[in-house]
Amino acid sequence: GLWEGQTDEGEIGMKYDELDEIIYRIDYGLSIDDLDIDKVKKVKDMIRLAEHKNKMPPMYKIFKQ
């Protein structure tokens, strides 16, 4: 939940269009040279810290007897 006046963009520290552009360029291996390096680093850190959310948890095999 957000408190009054709180926004996702405020918490992230950039507008969604900036975030989308950075992620797009990272995903497609495009140049990031003309982007704000601090914002690029922040996005890369966010991606790294959330990496575990994109992986399946370990599964145990159940054998029928």
Task: Tell me the pLDDT tens digit for each residue of 6-53.
Answer: 888 998 999 999 999 999 999 999 999 999 999 999 999 999 999 999
What pLDDT is recorded for position 58? 87
What is this structure's pTM? 0.74
The 3-state DSSP composition of the chain as helix, strand, coil percent (nearest 5) reads 55, 0, 45
Q: How far is CA 49 from CA 16, 52, 63, 65, in A?
A: 19, 7, 35, 41
65: which 2 tokens?
């007897």
For the chain, the domain total comes to 1
Does residue 61 belong to any structural domain of this protein? no
pLDDT at residue 64 tops 70: yes
- Domain assignment of residue 63, yes or no: no
Band of residue 1 on the pLDDT scale cut at 50, 70, 90: low
Residue 1 lies in a domain: yes
Task: Show the domain range for 14.
Answer: 1-42
Q: Is residue 27 part of a domain?
A: yes
32: in domain: yes
Q: Which residue has the higher pLDDT, 4 or 43?
A: 43
